[in-house]
A and B are shown apart, each in its own frame.
Chain A
Amino acid sequence: MSADLRLGDAGTRGRRVVLSIDGKSVTAYEGETVAGVLLAIGHVQSRTSPTRGEARGYYCGMGQCWDCALVIDGRPNQRACMTPVTDGMRVETQTGFGPTRPA
């Protein structure tokens, strides 16, 4: 079995981008969503829920359930399934409501 869950050869998937996921450097391909990258490498938990602290991840895959929401470039509550990756993007698993950052 291949190292990750992507179909096709790495060479056929287009331009590479590098992002960080919880501080670790990860190679992905332009056009992929954050959710696609996370699932491809087996990182299925996007957040812990604010009230019960339960693990949540990619569920509806079409932007409606918000369970895949996590912290992207410091902004909490960003849906992994609706966000394309970019070079240098910082993705972090979200705890509860995530960081409150001054606007």
Chain B
Amino acid sequence: MTLPASAETVVVGAGIIGLTTALHLARAGREVVVIDKAEPWREGSAVNAGTCALQNKATDLLPAYRHGLVEWRRLVSELDDDIGFVNRGGLRVAQSAEDVAALRAGAADQATQGVQLEWLDGNELRDRAPWLAPTVTAATFCADDSFASPLLTGQALIRALRRAGGTVAVAGLTGQRAKDDGYELTTTAGLMRCRNVVIATGAWTDRAAAMFGIDIPVLLHVNTLSVTERIGQFMDNMVVTHIAGKFTLKQFPNGSCILGGGFQGRGDKDSGRKELDLDQLKANIRYQCSVVPQLREANLLRSWVGFTAIAHDNKPTVGPMPGRPGLYFAFSTNAGFSMGPFVGRAVAGAVMGQPMPDLLQGFGPGRFAA
């Protein structure tokens, strides 16, 4: 696909936020081009675990994440293709006495934000989830916890965007200058003029911001994930998380189990190098098996690492850049997938002159200016 010479809006980054932003713009009749340094949907959004859950999120952000789930359901209804969105609830498990205490405290916190949880222990827990290890002594069930298929979501969004008149092109942003009433972008595929630029480059947000002379520090996490062979359904498509952290597990409808949680591999975003760390990988798998022993019966097919961006205050970064008309930033710390469709709709709205939704107020990129 050759790069158009100009567009009203250029979205940099073809992940969940970039593509949903572009989709809403295109469906509103706006001219939009999404550029990405390589094949679209190849980085964080494509290689994450697909978790769209509430129980593993920071309490203060829960209202936004709850709306994130509403937006996921809306996205499902707005797309022609299946994106593998499954809402069968989730279990947050506890193993040690400290875990159980933390789970109780966490559940109380979550309740203050209106998240409905069901406390399970003893026989009730065994009946509900006989596949959990006996060492799991308590769990909370949240009916909202869900997941989607990262593999299916990307192509469905790209297809929908193209049908709506949007363009997706391979072009890496290399620089910019303000020109006339907008920006002239230099890319690896040529020059582009535009009125608005949306930076939705995830882990590379600091690099893109620097091209605009803006400092947005981003901490890089290199999350490890693994997938098993397809096996018979045994855990009711629930999302399992762990109160002690670093744990997500789910079985997709096709039978594959995705083992995640954020054990760290190694990587470098400038060279693109990504490597598994064998000790971390083994710790990850061991932890998973300690909670769901039946996983030991399966074969592991693939492991990989993916980048995710963390802001220093652990908050998402969404909205217009003060003093820089037409420039927007959008990345959501740590759980970009859960919040992605919400952020995309909000940024598209902002580009079209609407105010940012209340739930995303206070997360503007201007907060980084010292």
Contacts and interface: CB of A to CB of B under 8 A. Distances in A.
Given A50-B255, A77-B299, A100 B232 contact: yes
A50 B294 contact: no
B293 interface: yes
A56 interface: no
Contacts of B232: 76, 96-100
Given A97-B255, A102-B131, A50 B230 contact: yes
A101 interface: yes
Contacts of B299: 77
Contacts of A75: 297
A75 B298 CA distance: 10
A99 B233 CA distance: 10
Query: What is the predominant secondary structure among interface residues of chain A facing chain B?
Result: loop
Interface in B263-321: 293-297, 299
A103 B294 CA distance: 5
Interface residues of A, number: 12
A66 to B, nearest CB: 8
B322 interface: no
Given A50-B255, A97-B255, A103 B297 contact: yes
Interface in B223-261: 229-234, 255
A102 B292 CA distance: 10
Contacts of A97: 230-233, 255
Contacts of A103: 293-297
20 contacts: A50-B230, A50-B255, A76-B231, A76-B232, A77-B231, A77-B299, A96-B232, A97-B230, A97-B231, A97-B233, A98-B232, A99-B232, A100-B231, A102-B130, A102-B131, A102-B294, A103-B294, A103-B295, A103-B296, A103-B297
